[in-house]
Amino acid sequence: MANDELIKKQIVDFAFHNDQIDASDVHVTVHEGNVSLKGKVPTYNAYRTLYNYANSLNEAGKVKASMTVDYAEKQPKDEEIVNFISNAFKWDAHLKSSDINIRSNDGTVTLSGPVDAYWKKHWAEERASTILGVKNIKNELGIVHSDSVTDEMISQNIINRLKSNMYVKVKNVNVNVEKGNVQLTGKVNSWGERYEAYKCALYTNGVKDIKNSITVED
C-alpha cells in the first residue's frame, strides 16, 4: 500500500508541475503497482508525456491510460491537421525527404510509409503529437534498410556505442539482434543508465525494432 501511494504521489506531482498537463483533470489510481490514468488532457503530447513518465517509474507495473484529449479551442478539421503535420515534416531536417503518408480521422492520425531509420519512426510520431487537433496516433511507419547491414554489424555497432557512452557500463547490458530486431537485457544501476542503453540502440543503423528488457537494480 505504501508503495502504491509513493507511485501515485510521483505521478501527481509530475502532472502538477508540468505546464502541459492540467493536474485537476487527471485521476491517478494505483493498485499493487499497476497504474490507471483517467481524465482529460489538453493535447495528445500531454497524454504521451504523462503516460511515458508513469512507464519510466521503477516501482510501477502495468500502466493503463484511459485519458481523453480535450481541446479548449475549436477542434481543427482533419484536412487542417494533415496540412499542419505535413508542413511540420517538410521543415524538419530529419523528415523532409521521407515519403510519409498522413491521414486523420476525427483527430486520430495514421502515419504510414517508409523511413530509413528506426529513430525516425519515433521522431515522426513525437513531432506529430505536438500538432493542434491530434487526439491519437497510429504509427504504421516501416523501416527500410539496405540488406548489406547484417545482424552482427548491428550488434557490434550497438556494443561500440555502449562502450563509448560514459553513462553506461557495457558489462551490464546484453545485446541480441535477429533480422534487425534488437533485444536488450541485463541489469543496470539506474533508469538513466537504462535509457542511455536504449538510445545507443535507437541511433544505430540497421535497427528495425527494439525490445528493452533491461531491469534496474532495487
User: In the prediction, which pLDDT does 202 show?
Assistant: 92
For residue 52, give every residue at least 6 positions away whose Cβ sits within 8 Å of its Cβ, in sequence order, or none.
Answer: none
- Diameter over CA atoms, the chain: 53
CATH of 78-143 among 2.40.128, 3.40.50, 3.30.1340, 3.30.310: 3.30.1340
24 pLDDT band, cuts 50/70/90, is confident
**Cβ–Cβ < 8 Å for 41, 65:** no
Cell of 23: 493536474
Q: What are the percentages of helix, strand and coil residues in the chain, rounded to 5?
A: 40, 30, 30
Where in the chain are all domains bearing CATH 3.30.1340.30?
2-69
Q: Which of 41, 192, 27, 202 has its CA nearest to residue 129? A: 41
Q: Is the pLDDT of residue 59 over 80?
A: no
187 burial via Cβ count (<10 Å: 0-12, 13-18, 19+): middle
User: In the prediction, which pLDDT does 187 show?
Assistant: 92
72 pLDDT band, cuts 50/70/90, is low
CATH of 2-69 among 3.40.50.720, 3.40.50.2000, 3.30.70.2660, 3.30.1340.30: 3.30.1340.30
68 pLDDT band, cuts 50/70/90, is confident
Q: Is the pLDDT of residue 2 over 70?
A: no
Q: What is the CATH number of domain 151-216?
A: 3.30.1340
Q: Greater confidence, 97 or 184?
A: 184
| DSSP one-letter string for 20-52 | TS-GGGEEEEEETTEEEEEEEESSHHHHHHHHH
Percent of the chain with pLDDT over 70: 96
